[in-house]
Structure 1
Amino acid sequence: MKKDCAFIFSDELLKYKFSKHHPFNQFRLELTVDLLKRLNALDPLAVLPPRIATDEELCLIHDPIYIEAVKKAGRGILPNEIAGNYGLGSEDTPIFPNMHEASSILVGGTLTAVDQVMTGKAIHALHLGGGLHHGFRGKASGFCIYNDSSVAIKYLQNKYHARVLYVDTDAHHGDGVQWSFYDDPNVCTLSIHETGRYLFPGTGNVTERGQGKGYGYSFNLPVDAFTEDESWLFTYRNALIEVAEFFQPDVILTQNGADSHYYDPLTHLSATMKIYREIPKLAHEIAHLYCGGKWVAVGGGGYDIWRVVPRAWALIWLEMTENPNSFGHLPSDWIDHWQKIAPVDLPTEWDDPDHLYPHIPRKEEITEKNAITLEKALFPIRNQQDQKKE
């Protein structure tokens, strides 16, 4: 197993908590870490605590006035009518005590991961507490207060002068990151997500390609509702391979939302654990092919915290460290320990059983639509290649 990988974690990350019943539940981090520990797959020396992002670092992306509003909200002194102007106090993003501090450590964790990789202390780094891709310059959105990935990309540009390929496999479009770099040719964003016709945030159309100098550096793959493994993976694999070859990145940053699974309560896709094996595997290959291995991975969405997220996120670390212990039965002591409080029957295997869900009559139609979407998304690259041949 590889030893030169960093796993960013501390219990401080669990303080990003909107309410007891909010779907964004960082308890999934604890479940994932415990699963890795019971596999003897998480060397304590590889675990590094996240630092707190400074206000100056947050201001790489966020408006200082917004940051002050978040601070006041967390102290209970921001009037409700003003909070709404910043997306705070909504059903999606409720106010909670010390929300600035809790959010800053999520951002700092991603920056910790970046520094580990870019200084050569680690070849890969994983920060599952990050991946809050909906945050905007001056507004919270979709469970996201600060956008750690956007801050990290700007940080990578300023400190390391890196060309960054951002790959987002969350079921929700990575809108906050896309808009942050929509006119920047040195950042390439690739998002594969459920079509916005049915799902928040409603963006991520294939025609969103960037603007100005950044035109042609934003790639969106809005797959149809009920998309299954084969079509999802065909779309993802072909897009990432071609986009990486086109962009030639210095570093790859992947957002690993685990909400495309059939079990996820907030989305409408029909993927299984098969895609969560392949997502990190292909990212790993791309990182070594183009970036000298430089790969930073963060978490993201994922709302079936018992059956899906721990397996999906553990597989990222097992891929990074080239640990083959990810087949067959899950550790029985992990199942026994958590089944006592789990509201659902925990899985006993790494992989899902065949026939996890009923047959989908529209399968061929969905597959065809996704193939057309892929062609449209990659048209600028392929058209450019055809012109060079001529």
Structure 2
Amino acid sequence: MSGRAQLMWDEAVTGYDFGPDHPMDPVRLELTRRLVGALGLDRAVEIVAAKPAGRSTLRLVHREDYIEAVKAASADPGSADGSYGLGTVDDPAFAGMHEVSALIAGQSVAAAEAVWHGDALHAVNFTGGLHHAMPGAASGFCIYNDAALAIARLLELGAERVAYVDVDVHHGDGVQAAFWEDPRVLTISLHEHPRTLFPQTGWPEETGAESAAGSAVNLPLPAGTGDAGWLRAFHAVVPELVADFRPEVLVTQHGADTHFEDPLAHLAVSLDAQRAVQLACHDLAHEHAGGRWIALGGGGYEVVDVVPRSWTHLVGIAAGRPVAPETVIPEGWRQEVYARTRQLGPVRMTDGRWPVSWADWESGYDPADRLDQAVRATRRAVFPLRGLLA
């Protein structure tokens, strides 16, 4: 195994563009890539532009009729079939949609192949993490589910245990659905409570099919949860389950929309807490998966101040060159931000909350605390199914 990290990148991924009024602005991808370069991290990784996922790969997760519907809408956006979730407010059809969606999926699949074959120990595709796409429908800004496709490819290559940890503010419903009946895949999602946020799924009681009981884990967090609660919840559930599962590969999704500045959700997490969870996922990969780690992007709609910094931290951690929070961001990048967006870019790689702290789960469960109630509900729903103490 080379031990060298791969960064999956092709400029053409910025063509994943739902239009000027859509919150998923592709400038977030371009600015992230430029910040990675401005901080010199591109010299610490192997940059790989993979091929688009072909039909046989897409069919590992997606139905043939859905792929055909995407291709038709891609060729003629005006013909998009709403029964497949295409041409909607969330997922408007656009020319070339199939091609660029398959390209993003191809980056995640290639990342999985590189890590499985030992060509890289870690691989990052921050353009991916499109976790809402279902086998037969687009959903939540997601056309093809690259995260599920990467996992399915690992299984096809012979993996027997793959753990997926999703810390996007939205429930990782598409990945859960893809492996609902498969005990070889453990899906863990921390997200804002479905009562207050799309897609209104991800309840603690969603624990997998009878044939895979305990393979789906959902921890819905109260709106307003901040750094200490978010980190407490993560560490109360994720490390113990991953250690018990003993995955051969860890796949993680790092949507940046948990941030307190994100316009589409209601958590209050800082960039510094996001970095802390990225570090924790890296450590879990080394402790329980032989270091094999595939890290994906996801949501994130504060496209200047939050997304580029969060995912640049992710690249630095994967590359073995974590960026110190107090690092001053190069002026050249900030000038590029202003030229592209007419917004002022951030000055440092921190929100000023590093180091972040939290109380361990064993340190004082409070039955009146809504966060602790949420954690307890998840542990009670899943841990006994896996032979663990709740």
TM-score with structure 2 length normalisation?
0.92
Q: Distance in 1 between matches of 2:95 and 2:340?
A: 26
Name the residue aligned to 1:67.
Answer: 67
Give the 3 Å change call, closer, same or farther, for CA 302–366 of structure 1 in structure 2: farther
Q: What residue identity is the alignment partner of 1:73?
A: A
CA distance in 2, matches of 1:109, 1:327: 28
Q: 1:62 to 1:78 in 2, by over 3 A?
A: farther
Q: What CA distance in whole angstroms lies between the structure 2 residues aligned with 1:243 and 1:75?
A: 44
> 2:346 corresponds to which residue?
347
Asked if 2 retains the 8 angstrom alpha-carbon contact of 1:162 and 1:251, the reply is no
Give the match for residue 358 of structure 1: none
Matches of 1:109 and 1:386, distance apart in 2: 39
* Structure 1 residue ranges without an equivalent (≥5): 355-363
Q: Give the aligned partner of residue 50 of structure 1.
A: 50
Which residue does the alignment assign to 1:249?
Answer: 247
Opposite residue 148 of structure 1, the aligned amino acid is D
Q: Secondary structure at the match of 2:251?
A: strand
State the shift of 1:79 in Å: 3.6
For structure 1, which segment, 276-285 or 304-313, has the greater mean C-alpha deviation from structure 2 after superposition? 276-285
| Alpha-carbon distance between aligned partners in 2 of 1:56 and 1:132, rounded to the nearest angstrom | 19
- The answer to whether the 8 Å contact 1:227/1:367 transfers is no
Alignment-derived partner of residue 357 in structure 1: none
* Post-superposition offset of 1:333: 2.1
Paired residues for 1:1-390 under 5 Å: 4-43=4-43, 46-76=46-76, 79-80=79-80, 83-328=81-326, 329-353=328-352, 368-379=369-380, 380-381=382-383, 384-386=387-389
Counterpart residue type for residue 213 of structure 2: Y
Mapped to 2, the partners of 1:222 and 1:57 lie a distance apart of 32
- Which stretch of structure 1 is more off in the superposition, 290-299 or 367-376? 367-376
Asked whether the equivalents of residues 229 and 270 of structure 1 are also in contact (C-alpha less than 8 Å), the reply is yes
- 8 Å Cα contact 2:6-2:48 kept in structure 1: yes
Aligned partners of 2:367 and 2:139: how far apart in 1?
29
Instruction: Please state how far the C-alpha of 1:382 moved relative to its aligned partner.
Output: 5.4
Equivalent pair of 1:224/1:366 in contact (CA under 8 Å): no
Q: Post-superposition shift, 1:127?
A: 0.5
> Structure 1 residues 48, 257: CA separation in 2 closer, same or farther (over 3 Å shift)?
same
Is the Cα–Cα contact under 8 Å of residues 189 and 218 in structure 1 kept in the other structure?
yes
Deviation at 1:150, TM superposition (A): 1.1
Q: Is the partner of 1:125 in helix, strand or coil?
A: strand
Matched residue SS, 1:126? strand
Letter in 2 for 1:176: G
Q: Which amino acid aligns with 1:352?
A: D
SS class of match (1:319): helix
Partner deviation per Cα, 1:268-310 (whole Å, 9 max, x = no partner)? 1111112211121011111011111000011110000000001
CA contact (8 A) 2:255 2:298 kept: yes
Q: Is the 8 A contact 1:249 1:291 kept in 2?
A: yes
The change in CA–CA distance for 1:172 and 1:45 in structure 2 (over 3 A counts) is closer
| Secondary structure at 1:136 match in 2 | coil
User: Cα deviations across residues 126-182 of structure 1 (Å, max 9, x unaligned)?
Assistant: 011111100011111111111111111111111133311000010000001111111
AA partner of residue 5 (structure 1): A
Deviation at 1:312, TM superposition (A): 0.4
Separation in structure 1 between the aligned mates of residue 176 and residue 4 of structure 2, nearest angstrom = 30
Cα distance in structure 1, aligned partners of 2:232 and 2:77: 50
Letter in 2 for 1:177: V
Give the secondary-structure state (helix, strand or coil) at the position aligned to 1:378: helix
Q: 1:366 to 1:66 in 2, by over 3 A?
A: farther
CA distance in 2, matches of 1:285, 1:209: 25
1:232 alignment partner, SS class? helix
Alpha carbons of structure 1 residues 201 and 367: separation in structure 2 relative to 1, 3 Å: farther
- Aligned residues between the structures: 376
Of residues 299-308 and 11-20 in structure 1, the stretch that sits farther from structure 2 once superposed is 11-20
The residue identity in structure 1 corresponding to 2:182 is: D
**Please, which moves more after superposition, 6-15 or 329-338?**
329-338
Contact 2:334-2:344 within 8 A present in 1 as well: no
Q: For residue 211 of structure 1, report the CA deviation from its aligned partner.
A: 1.3
C-alpha distance in 1 between matches for 2:343 and 2:45: 33
The SS at the match of 1:92 is coil
Aligned equivalents of 1:84 and 1:233: distance in 2? 39
Taking the aligned partners of 1:70 and 1:283, their CA distance within structure 2 comes to 34
In 1, the alpha carbon distance for the partners of 2:238 and 2:134 equals 25
SS at match of 1:115: helix
Aligned to 1:361: none
Post-superposition offset of 1:98: 1.4
Secondary structure of 1:172's aligned partner = coil
